[in-house]
Structure 1
């Protein structure tokens, strides 16, 4: 039967993600609008975004947080162009974004001595085969596959290479072993539902040492330059951005950080996301026509929840269109390069009550389309 109650918030997009519960753009602190980002106020607010990020994430001593252009993609590109070439490389890919980093390393930077470790959608490469003498590039959570690495146990504490981790759909939603990660990137438009275009780049002291002791052989675009005279440009990690940021987006990000703090901090945000996954898991367990794309339960993403159905691609597309037209769920189709299916965002900005209300609508839509 057609359910009677719809989710209060039908925004289940995997990016840009749903705004936090109770969000009101009119309540943002917009004192910086119309002011230079290099004014004392602008630098104070940008610096606050960096320091509050480090505090909420519980970053180790010496880790630096910078706001950079180009969303998560820009942050990853800065790391790849600035750090790679000093050592052999292991690059892991099990979905489209990881495959994009493979292409950048092999086709754009044209680096030699690259070991590509790939797996199909739904699976992980064999993490035990990663060579920790090499620089290692990987996504913590494969946003388009719904497959995450289960933990950081496979990363050696005494590694010689750097670990460069694209964690855009993991930061503020998953417990990351920071001491094992040398470069971490994310965009606040993912887990925190912030506005797009800006990336966050987190560097460990080991990454800073590489930057200060190694110079790549290729020309470096201005937007990627993090050193001057062989020394890190520390201002980037105090809010002195490389190019002009949107101060409205920064105000939006600070609002999201304040919400995480009010929620109870990082652990509370992770718990909310895990509870959303639990709702979907119970539904999947009770219905034989739907399953996770991830094959190993230990690798199930609690943010980008990717599902496969006993239906052909046209039927899945029709289901998604039906749910959209009903105002029940927006933007839940699988990523264009992924197998046909659904991708439901389960980060902390999505309420468990809305996830619970969505599930019976999935059953209704499936029956409507497959019985037609």
Structure 2
């Protein structure tokens, strides 16, 4: 079987070793005579998988005991609503830093819940960069500060996080597990799994326990306390997605942990950015250099006609997912943890040949 050169932004490529391991247990998990997705979520066989996934995530990210690790559903998009519903009090204001479409959407949902304030934004300049720390202006009654750590559409990424006196919240859907960071700097982190953690269907929330409060007026399924009290087993969780997430975490540990993964990610992104920078303007990067993402490399060619030719010819030889987001166009290579270095090298080779041709 020939694997595609998969540069999709999400759902994204999974480690081949993970797919192989899942395949081995597909019809008969752990001698049960059932597939994992057929097991009761109350069974001991599934409970082991569930708790192992939580323990592995705690180990890889060095998550302290005063944080809960929750497995939820609804993607990062549901968290846009759950966060203000659980953390925004009537006399407070939710603060947001706008660096792309997803932070825009998070703000939009928070406005439906209560008062909001834009603490910083690069929207007016086309989201080419991450704001400088001194540009951040919190409201006096801030309940929390929300940011998006990596912006898949525009190809920008935070490389230094703000230190705040209010809870710091991050949507890390597209770069969690890709590099080391200090978990204690954040009070809540959330991430849809479908880029670096596993398949779509499960969302990870890492939340400081003191932020979880009783919220009797909230719908049960929108209350963090519901899931914290029940080890994320209040209702039937996405068991297959959590199993695959657990296998991805095993793969991270077997491949040197987050430090080794980060080094490979830097190598992959450097190959692409060097190609863009040394193309004499044939390829034009979207993001400012100091805000560049190591996960999503966004670029255009000198003309729309050339961009179309580039995408057509790339598709013909097996490259998948190089189209930019429909809202901005252009090209984008998403090079998450599971994208092999060899696939990035193949893309750079194609880019060189395409430049020589045109």
Distance 1:242 1:336 in 2: 37
1:223 and 2:221 are equivalent in the alignment:
yes
Distance 1:176 1:298 in 2: 18
Which residue pairs with 2:154 in the alignment?
145
Is the contact between residue 9 and residue 354 of structure 1 (CA under 8 Å) also seen in structure 2?
A: no
The structure with higher relative contact order (CA 8 Å, sep 6+) is 1
Q: Which of 310, 316, 333 is 2:307 aligned to?
A: 316
1:49 and 2:68 are equivalent in the alignment:
no
Correspondences of 1:111-190 after superposition (within 5 Å): 111-115=114-118, 117-119=120-122, 120-131=126-137, 134=142, 135-152=144-161, 154-156=162-164, 159=165, 161-190=166-195
- 5+ long unaligned stretches in structure 2: 31-35
Is the contact between residue 171 and residue 191 of structure 1 (CA under 8 Å) also seen in structure 2?
A: yes
Distance 2:260 2:95 in 1: 34
Decide whether aligned partners of structure 1 residues 17 and 341 sit closer, same or farther in structure 2, where only a CA change above 3 A counts: same
Secondary structure in structure 2 of the residue aligned to 1:104? helix
1:293 and 2:286 are equivalent in the alignment:
yes
Q: CA deviation at 1:76?
A: 4.2
TM-score by length of 2: 0.87
Is the contact between residue 51 and residue 65 of structure 1 (CA under 8 Å) also seen in structure 2?
A: no
Which residue pairs with 1:257 in the alignment?
249
TM-score by length of 1: 0.84
Q: CA deviation at 1:176?
A: 2.2
Q: CA deviation at 1:8?
A: 5.8
Correspondences of 1:224-243 after superposition (within 5 Å): 224-227=222-225, 234-236=228-230, 238=231, 240-243=232-235
Distance 1:115 1:246 in 2: 34
Q: CA deviation at 1:113?
A: 4.7
Decide whether aligned partners of structure 1 residues 318 and 221 sit closer, same or farther in structure 2, where only a CA change above 3 A counts: farther
Which residue pairs with 2:326 in the alignment?
336
Distance 1:245 1:136 in 2: 29
Which residue pairs with 1:346 in the alignment?
335
Is the contact between residue 61 and residue 183 of structure 2 (CA under 8 Å) also seen in structure 1?
A: no
- 5+ long unaligned stretches in structure 1: 1-6
Q: CA deviation at 1:200?
A: 0.3
Is the contact between residue 72 and residue 198 of structure 1 (CA under 8 Å) also seen in structure 2?
A: no
Distance 1:317 1:85 in 2: 49
Distance 1:169 1:212 in 2: 28
Decide whether aligned partners of structure 1 residues 292 and 221 sit closer, same or farther in structure 2, where only a CA change above 3 A counts: farther
- Displaced runs of 4 or more, over 6 A: none
CA RMSD of aligned residues (A): 2.4
Distance 2:98 2:246 in 1: 32
Decide whether aligned partners of structure 1 residues 189 and 355 sit closer, same or farther in structure 2, where only a CA change above 3 A counts: same
Q: Which of 327, 340, 357 is 2:346 aligned to?
A: 357
Which residue pairs with 2:33 in the alignment?
none
1:27 and 2:34 are equivalent in the alignment:
no
Q: CA deviation at 1:79?
A: 2.1
